[in-house]
Amino acid sequence: RALQAIPGWTWEPRRSRYDRNLRVLRQHVARHGWAAMAQDTRAKTGEPIGRWVNHVRVRYRAGELPDDLAAELERIPGWQWEPRDARDARNLVLLQRFVRRRGKDALRKTTVVDGVQLGAWYMRCGERLRRGTLPRELNRALAAIDPARWRRKRAARAAGQL
């Protein structure tokens, strides 16, 4: 009883933090959208909201996130458990359209399409291939765009040269 009389006391401090962070996240997304969300993003209140978003995604993947919190997050417009997958899908469509219009040889590291640093993204995909973290479907799609270049990248990875 004495503990419950203390202002702010809770028997479930983690749940209380989740509720506070959910409120802050909703406000931040309503104000700035998801495009402004990065790991180092801080809410107007100073809360490290980007780090918290990453934390709950990691806990979700590990099966450690309470179902009710997962459901609350999924109710936030634009929420994604795997934002990189959505970004890759969007960038792949941009790349395919770019290659159809301009040809694969026109792609440079500095190429920007619709505000997306498409050339840099393509280069990072090569790095992800080297590290073994490029999703198989994306690997196949990129190989279909430029089979010779992607074969060289895969061969270099196999030889440990990438």
pLDDT at position 82, please?
Answer: 86
pLDDT at position 32, please?
Answer: 87
Residue 125 CA neighbour count, 13 Å, CB half:
28
Q: How far apart are CA 68 and CA 142, in angstroms?
A: 38
Q: How far apart are CA 41 and CA 44, in angstroms?
A: 10
pLDDT in tens, 57-114: 999 999 999 999 999 999 999 898 988 888 899 999 999 999 999 999 999 999 999 9
Tell me the two tokens of residue 108: 């440079």
pTM: 0.60
pLDDT over 80 (residue 4): no
**Arithmetic mean of pLDDT over the chain:** 86
pLDDT over 50 (residue 9): no
